Amino acid sequence: MSILSWVVLGLVAGALAKLIYPGNQGGGIFATIGLGILGALAGGFVGQLLGIGAAAAGGFSLASLVTAILGAMLLIFLWGLATSQR
- In this model, does residue 61 exceed pLDDT 50? yes
Global pTM value = 0.73
Round to whole Å and give the CA distance between 31 and 21: 14
- In this model, does residue 57 exceed pLDDT 60? no
The interaxial angle of helices 2-20 and 29-50, nearest 10 deg, is: 120
Lowest-pLDDT range of 10-14, 23-27, 45-49, 78-82 = 23-27
Compute the average pLDDT of residues 24-50.
75
Q: What local confidence, expressed as pLDDT, does residue 80 receive? A: 79
